Chain A
Amino acid sequence: MTVLSTIFSFQFVDMWLRVATPLIFTSMGAVVCERSGVVNLGLEGIMLSAALMGVLGSAFSGSLFIGLLSGLAMGLFLSAVFAYFHLVLKANEVLCGTAINTFAGGFTVFMLEIVTGEKGTSASIKSMAFPTVDIPIIQHIPVLGQLLSGHNLLTYFAFIMVGVLWYLLYKTPIGLRIRAVGENEHAIHSVGISVTKVRFLAIMICGVMASLGGMYLSMGYLNMFVRDMVAGRGFISLAANAMGHATPVGTMLSALVFAFFDGLSNILQALKIPSEFVQMLPYAATIVGLVLYSIQRINAVKRHKAKSFA
């Protein structure tokens, strides 16, 4: 029963949130994109490139802020490339996304080697990291303090962004346009709004979110860049978005579920279960999650059909 006692420990909650943070960021980006009718498979590559540029920017300037800006600039640049090819040149979105991922895989290793001389990690240069935050007063309350206080700045920010994006999508004009364009682009076009502009904006917002998710990995979760460190988190974010019906809160909850299994696999590795099996868990959870989601959606369609007969 060591597993249970570990799960119910503060360390586990701490780890859970650490694993969840990049997923929440990136899946929020996926939500905005999906709502505008674009499936952005390039999240993986945007995360990876931003993770590297954040490290390089901060290491060379000695400023966390400059690091943040470099990471964001990289993410926005790749998003703009994606948007240009998909929206303007009308290239297939799956191809564009895959191209971004392939590019990022090579580009990051190439850059890493040029700058540090190594192909594996950026351990030889000193990156800045986002600080952890102790919340005054709350940190001294027993239990609550241990649960809520002492996490990384970006972890708090991730949860704040869930609220911000909810507000953006449901309360503001631009959110209304994003939701409308994803469902019926002709509706937007016929009232004289540019479909391309709305989608472009959505892709750029998504780029910001994915960049933050990537930078958290290299400047929060770890304190350096490691080759291929994103390891499928971009795709898991897409899955979380699908399971959360592209709603910010639903997607955040799905991301937390995936993160839970990810955290669990970290713990189980300490036990005598084969590590390959354990590492499979988060992905198996993703598949099961997607299947459940599809079943639920089929039922919803049936219900809707029954209703529309009425």
Chain B
Amino acid sequence: MTALRMEHITKVYPNGVVANRDIVFDVAVGEIHALSGENGAGKTTLMKILFGEETATEGKIFIHGEEQYIHTSQDALKLGIGMVHQHFMLVPSLTVTENIILGIEMRKGLSIDYTQSKKLVQEYGEKYHMYLDPDAKVKDLSVGQKQKLEILKVLIRGAKILILDEPTAVLTPQETAELFTELKHLRNEGFTIIFISHKLSEVRELCDHITIIRKGESKGVYALADITDEEISQKMVGRDVELTIARSEGKRGKTLLKVENLSVLEEGGKPRVDNVSFNLHEGEILGIAGVEGNGQSELVDVITGLGNFQHGSVLFQNKPIKYNHVKEIREAGIGHIPEDRMSIGIASNLSITENLLADKTRWKEFFGKNGLLIKQKIRSFSAKMVEDYAILCRDPEVPISSLSGGNIQKVVLARELSSKPQLIVANQPTRGVDVGATEFIRKQLLSMRDAGGAVLLVSSDLRELFGLSDRLLVMYEGKFAACITDLTSIDEQGLGRYMLGLDTQDTEMVMRNAQ
């Protein structure tokens, strides 16, 4: 029995972008159905049409066999369709309960009936194994808890068809595992789930069928049992994708970055980074593994000059790195691919070209002697970048915010690498990025290493860490729990134990290997 059928959907945005072209999308009751495709393929657009946030230019929607006209999300909710968006739609200063009841408030006289509401939140939490403190403020929740809250919100509104748009992009592996157990529970209770993800392993673990779209067109529906990962990525990207990247032995050169006894304390004096030391050499990719929030972000902030530190020293080519001296740090040759690309990676209202030039405002070749823009040179530079990095856009002058996530990340990468850094600090470089672009970004990092540069790679994707790192440090509660020099000596399980603090290596040995 089909839960929903979208027939011949075409969507043209007002700016002329054709996001969906004649797509047919069919989902059976009680299945988890994957929707996959490159960044910008039109997945979110298709789901927004189903949820009534966008209207299709052409096409029909059938819910449980009956044709329906969905104009607003209210219509969709009435039909039992709920959506958890790619970005959280929560109000941080309100409580869990308040966020959930927003729009469906139960009343007692004129007031909201909070007692009744909290009870409802607790009931649903227990029923679907998603327990949350009803009185907790949303801003105090972890990312995983926020995700649960979003799902609860949808369930309480009576949705039977759940759309989850890249729910795992921001989750740690542990949180993802937990989410999957919950989703399987829901499926067993008869819910229909549409699951969007760029990670094929996740799709394979969770889903029954996959619909693949490329450049707004459907490339077919497959049972996951009948299709290999290679075939899926081939259909998504339109060419063969290397899922595991061939890499040569690195040639380790002289020390580039020297971190000694570094501590970062929070205001109360509690250490976020706790007396760590390590060296990073030319021609080396040093991976940093760890469950998010164990000091990785603070470490990255110190090295890129964005965060302060209280003890120890950081030397880059024997010169100390100082807090807030970002300009000097960049000029010395450190590039940064930040974790949060939307807020600190780019200026979203500016064009691709302007974003590419953001770190090059002192380059004589673009700004001449009298400080005026040399348009011609700039134009040819950005045209070359767009071509070299295969940035999908109409032209380089469009605002960067109109690009899809993966293409925005490519712009950041192009900007950072074109400044020819000797060290690049890459924090979650392929999060939310499609397989094709992921392959591309990883290759770029590797070729930078092969050319004698250094990479500090922070990632929550264990496969990425295994695939790229020459050495791997595992952070747990601000310290290094392990330093792995031979990556073939350990598997994901073993690494997971260090990440959770269940195992730790001998401190002496970590110190020695980290040098």
Report A's interface with B, CB cutoff 8 A: 167, 171-173, 176-177, 179-180, 183-184, 186-193, 302-303, 306, 308-310
Contacts and interface: CB of A to CB of B under 8 A. Distances in A.
Contact of B85 (A173, A179, A190): A190
Interface string B84-109: 01010111111000110111110100
B72 interface: yes
Contacts of A190: 53, 73, 83, 85, 89
Contacts of B104: 191
B268 interface: yes
17 contacts: A171-B110, A176-B102, A180-B94, A180-B102, A183-B91, A184-B89, A187-B90, A187-B99, A188-B103, A190-B83, A190-B89, A191-B73, A191-B89, A192-B74, A303-B267, A306-B266, A308-B139
Given A192-B74, A306-B267, A310-B268, A184 B103 contact: no
A187 B91 contact: yes
B157 interface: yes
A196 to B, nearest CB: 12
Contacts of A176: 94, 98, 101-102, 105, 112
Contacts of A303: 267
B193 interface: no
Contacts of B139: 308
B267 A192 contact: no
Nearest to B74: A192
A310 B85 CA distance: 27
B153 A191 contact: yes
A189 B48 CA distance: 12
B102 A187 contact: yes
Given A176-B102, A183-B94, 5 more contacts: A179-B91, A186-B89, A191-B77, A192-B77, A309-B298
Given A184-B90, A190-B73, A190-B83, A310 B111 contact: no
B266 A187 contact: no
**Chain A CB within 10 Å, residue with most, of B76, B77, B94, B139:** B94
A191 B267 contact: no
B209 interface: no
Contacts of A172: 110-112
Interface of B: 53, 72-74, 76-77, 83, 85, 87, 89-94, 98-99, 101-105, 107, 110-112, 139, 153, 157, 266-268, 270, 272, 298
Q: Which 5 A-B pairs have the closest CB atoms?
A: A306-B267, A192-B74, A173-B105, A191-B103, A190-B89
Contacts of A189: 53, 73, 89
Contact of A184 (B92, B110, B112): B92
A189 B53 CA distance: 9
Contact of B270 (A167, A171, A187, A310): A310
A186 B74 CA distance: 14
A212 B101 CA distance: 33
A309 B157 contact: no
Query: Interface centre among A179, A183, A189, A191, by most B CB within 10 Å?
Result: A191
Nearest to B293: A309
Nearest to B153: A191
A187 B88 CA distance: 8
Given A183-B91, A306-B268, A171 B102 contact: no
Contacts of B92: 183-184
B47 to A, nearest CB: 12
B294 to A, nearest CB: 12
B399 to A, nearest CB: 17
Nearest to A174: B105
A306 B89 CA distance: 24
B94 A179 contact: yes
A279 to B, nearest CB: 39
Contacts of A171: 110-112
A179 B153 CA distance: 18
Contacts of A183: 91-94
A99 B298 CA distance: 47
A217 to B, nearest CB: 31
A190 B165 CA distance: 13
A221 B507 CA distance: 77
B72 A192 contact: yes
A310 B110 contact: no
Nearest to B78: A192
- Which of A172, A190, A302, A303 is packed against the most chain B CB atoms within 10 Å? A190
A188 B268 contact: no
Contacts of A177: 102-103
A192 to B, nearest CB: 4
B36 to A, nearest CB: 23
A193 B111 contact: no
Nearest to B264: A309
Contacts of B99: 180, 187
A188 B110 CA distance: 21
A187 B89 contact: yes
A180 B77 CA distance: 19
Contacts of B153: 191
Contacts of A309: 266, 272, 298
A303 B267 CA distance: 8
A189 B72 CA distance: 9
B380 to A, nearest CB: 37
A167 B110 CA distance: 10
A310 B53 CA distance: 37
A1 to B, nearest CB: 46
A28 to B, nearest CB: 18
Contacts of A191: 73, 77, 89, 102-104, 153, 157
Nearest to B92: A183
A180 B268 contact: no
Nearest to B270: A310
Nearest to B75: A192
